[in-house]
Amino acid sequence: MINADLTTGPLGGHFKRLAVPAAVGMLFSTLYNVVDTFYAGYFGTQAQAGLSVGFQAFFILVAIGFGLSSAMSALVGNAKGRKDEAESRHLAVQGIGLAVMAVGAMLTIALFAGPYLIAIVSEPGDYRDAGLDYFYWLIFALPGFIVGPAANGILQARGDTRTMQRALVVAFFVNVGLNPLLMFGIPGVVGGMGFNGIALATVLSQTGVAGFILWRVFGRAMMQDLRWAEFIPVPAKYYEIIAQAFPAGFALLVTFSSGFIVQYALKDYGEAALASYGITMRIEQLFLLPALGITISLVPIAAQNFGAGQNARVREAFHRCWILGVIGTTLAFPFLWFGGGLATSVFSDDPEVIRISALFLKVEAVILPIYVVLFSINSLLQALKKAAWTMWIGIYRQWIGIALFIWFFAYVMDGGLTGVRLGIAAGVGTGLLLSLWIGLRVAEDRIGGLGSPWIRAKA
């Protein structure tokens, strides 16, 4: 079992050991979604549009899982940095119990809110029906998408990103096999489910991922000889976890729900525009993966060192994170700018979908490095136990900024689809300015400032 002390040793080695497995795991997670989009193409543009709106609605519900993951990574990481194993165990057990309770709450919300969420971003017709069916099947995956990430946050805090990597790699190959099997069945033996088979494949594979992650968590030395009494909710601990998880989860909720703002604007341009949005998000994620792996690794590294009072190492880790991420995403520019149409043709042969996707990806090529700096600042704020600021940054960038600038560029300036994408870019750019201002102020208060990225801190 991996149980790394990230407060000593070269930071470059820690980033490599944590970021590479995290990036590989996310690669297969993204490829997982790419496979779903590819198979949805067998049922045409309407199915791909339905997949886009149904998936967007579902992910709003699982934001709490990612918030709990962030909270566990930061809080358990801080406790480990202080060498407090009893507190690490207590937080881990309480966090898992809270995740189970969150599943019940999200199930209830999903049943009532799902149809309304999908209706907001779609017009009556076949693609709305497809999206709603897909969403209802995905509800059964809620335990996997909430409990799994929460448990994985515990592993990340201990320096273990390999477990999730292995789980996601296996889930990808399982999904590759289950999708066609459940969609088309076995001729002469059992019939297929059609488009809904994609959703059931996700339910089965993601439930398996969560089960494997929990098995690894409960196999750790700090979790041995557990008693049921330890799972009884302790209000003070629940409050501490929620205080860290809510802002991070809400920030991600804002990110996901911003897709509704975009889809609401795109629905005026038809099914091809909605299908293009879903496809380009998958392609964009592939090029963001190395940077995402690095920014995810920053949370446990910075959290442990902050807990240990190693402020110089926190600063150096932050600078390494965003510099490496910006370099990586800058290298992706020519592929997205010149190859967007070719990449889209893998998923659709609709000329309009290919044309719109190529336009969208040109804008993404320009703003990818901005995303990396934003994600780096968010990871630092989480590690410094100031996750509430990530929520406010997200509210501006993903709600106010995007809505305001899409309205201005697409409607006031009559920019059409180009205006929609420029609106997103403007929201991201101004969001970066806000996050930099907040990040500098928090760092000054918590670790004595960020210093210069070009002066190597003493580890």
Over its length of 459 residues, how does the chain's per-residue pLDDT go in tens digits? 456 678 888 888 888 887 777 777 777 777 787 788 788 878 877 777 777 778 777 877 887 888 888 888 888 888 877 888 888 888 889 999 999 999 998 888 888 888 887 887 677 777 788 888 888 888 899 999 899 989 998 888 877 878 888 888 899 899 888 988 998 888 777 777 888 888 899 899 999 999 999 999 888 777 888 888 888 898 988 988 988 888 777 766 776 667 777 877 887 777 788 778 878 877 887 777 777 788 888 888 888 888 888 898 999 999 988 998 888 888 888 988 888 888 888 878 888 888 888 888 888 888 889 988 988 998 899 888 887 888 888 888 878 988 899 999 988 888 888 888 889 889 889 999 999 999 999 999 998 888 766 554 444
**Residues 154 and 62 reside in one and the same domain:** yes
Domain end among 233, 265, 297: 233
**Residues 326 and 439 reside in one and the same domain:** yes
**Residues 227 and 256 reside in one and the same domain:** no
Pull the structure tokens for residue 13: 């080695």
**Residues 194 and 298 reside in one and the same domain:** no
**Residues 112 and 200 reside in one and the same domain:** yes
By C-alpha distance, which of 390, 374, 380 is closest to 432? 374
**Residues 145 and 286 reside in one and the same domain:** no
In a domain, 258, yes or no: yes
Those residues whose C-beta lies under 8 Å from the C-beta of residue 24, and which sit 6 or more positions away, are 165, 169, 293
Name the strand (E) or helix (H) holding 41.
none
What letter represents residue 72's amino acid? Answer: M
In a domain, 395, yes or no: yes
**Residue 270 burial (CB count, 10 A):** 16
Domain end among 206, 233, 260: 233
In a domain, 244, yes or no: no
Q: How many domains does the chain have?
A: 2
Domain end among 233, 259, 278: 233
**Residues 109 and 153 reside in one and the same domain:** yes
**Residues 329 and 226 reside in one and the same domain:** no
Residue 378 to residues 34, 370, 442, Cα–Cα distance (Å): 26, 13, 11
Pull the structure tokens for residue 12: 């470059």
In a domain, 242, yes or no: no
Could you tell me the residue range of the domain that residue 395 belongs to?
249-458
**Residues 124 and 5 reside in one and the same domain:** yes
**Residues 38 and 148 reside in one and the same domain:** yes
**Residues 228 and 256 reside in one and the same domain:** no
**Residues 88 and 146 reside in one and the same domain:** yes
Round to whole Å and give the CA distance between 249 and 381: 14
Cβ 80 vs Cβ 307: under 8 Å: yes
